[in-house]
Copies of this chain bind each other. A is one copy, B any other.
Amino acid sequence: MTRVAIQGEAGSFSHAAAIAVFGPDTRIVACVTFEDLFRAVEKDDADRGLVPIENTLAGSVHENYDLLSAHSLHVVGETALRIRHCLVARPGGTLGDIGRVASHPVALAQCRRFFTEHPALLAVPAYDTAGSVHDLMAGTLAADAAIASALAARLYGAAVLAEGLEDHPENYTRFLVVAREPVPVWGASKMSLVFTLPNTPGALHRALRVFAARDLNLTKIESRPLPGRPWEYLFYLDVAGDALESTHDALRELRTFAPMLRVLGVYPDRAALSAATATHS
């Protein structure tokens, strides 16, 4: 059974993503921080780690970009999970019984319209979505309901009173799967890499041309500051393409002028995974 490190409690959206990728019997290793998650995989306390890297409303999770650089794990897969917020109450509860609704502030912020349409409900910030459901059922939550995943409701024996509370239905989180060792990939694939560039005009354009000239598609670019080097950056790219030879060529050319270049991983691209995601979600 695959042991998968996630940040957060059982029933979190990371847990739902782990089930989507590894199946319902996945053994999760719950970690308090993202740093703990990376360490759990490094120390072999888990076989894989599931790292949220971007959300289609909130943007990149920059802490996890920094952790990919600081640790030497390999990206071996990715998945995207639709984030569907549910109103979760004790079994037998109804909307009329509810005054206070607890959840993580990010989840509350994504459900503003629901609170506008239900002025009798008060949003109460809490430390975690799934943790709020746990506390609700344990009788220690300072609220009558929680906003969390359907998985959290199922795990803790609570009831889902309403689904799809989020303002924007196009709310997805993309997760990377990380491991101690790379996994060989055949066919269509994606590559994640990080590099620095000389501080000269046109350097970033030159780096992107390396891929564009070979018809390799750039699906994401992210920059992070280089500590100790003001106004210089680490660039993170995701590149998609099915021509392995072109990719190797591109990296060879980029290495001729990038002071630092590291391939974070090569993995099947999400298109191949999306059917599996739909089945389990």
Contact = CB atoms under 8 A, between A and B. Distances in A.
Interface of A: 54-60, 62, 80, 168, 170, 172, 174, 201-202, 204-206, 208-209, 211-212, 215-225, 227-231, 233
Given A170-B228, A209-B209, A217-B201, A59 B57 contact: no
Nearest to A222: B223
Contact of A202 (B59, B172, B217, B228): B217
Contacts of A204: 208, 218, 221
Given A57-B227, A59-B224, 8 more contacts: A59-B225, A168-B227, A170-B229, A201-B217, A202-B217, A205-B212, A209-B209, A221-B221
Nearest to A66: B59
Given A221-B221, A222-B223, A215 B229 contact: no
- Stoichiometry, copies per complex: 2
A150 to B, nearest CB: 20
Contacts of A216: 201
Contacts of A231: 56, 174, 219-220
20 contacts: A56-B227, A58-B225, A59-B224, A59-B225, A60-B223, A80-B230, A170-B227, A170-B229, A201-B216, A201-B217, A204-B208, A204-B218, A204-B221, A205-B208, A205-B218, A209-B209, A220-B223, A220-B233, A221-B221, A222-B223
Nearest to A221: B223
A221 B220 CA distance: 12
Contact of A170 (B209, B219, B230): B230
The 9 closest A-B pairs by CB, nearest first: A205-B212, A201-B217, A202-B212, A205-B208, A56-B230, A59-B225, A170-B228, A170-B230, A172-B230
| Overall SS of chain A's interface | mixed
A121 to B, nearest CB: 24
Nearest to A223: B221
**Of A56, A205, A217, A224, most B-chain CB atoms within 10 Å:** A205
Nearest to A208: B205
Contacts of A221: 204, 221, 223
Contact of A208 (B57, B208, B215, B229): B208
A59 B62 CA distance: 9
A206 B209 CA distance: 9
**Of A224, A227, A230, most B-chain CB atoms within 10 Å:** A230
Nearest to A234: B59
Contacts of A54: 225
Contacts of A55: 225
A219 B233 CA distance: 10
Nearest to A216: B201
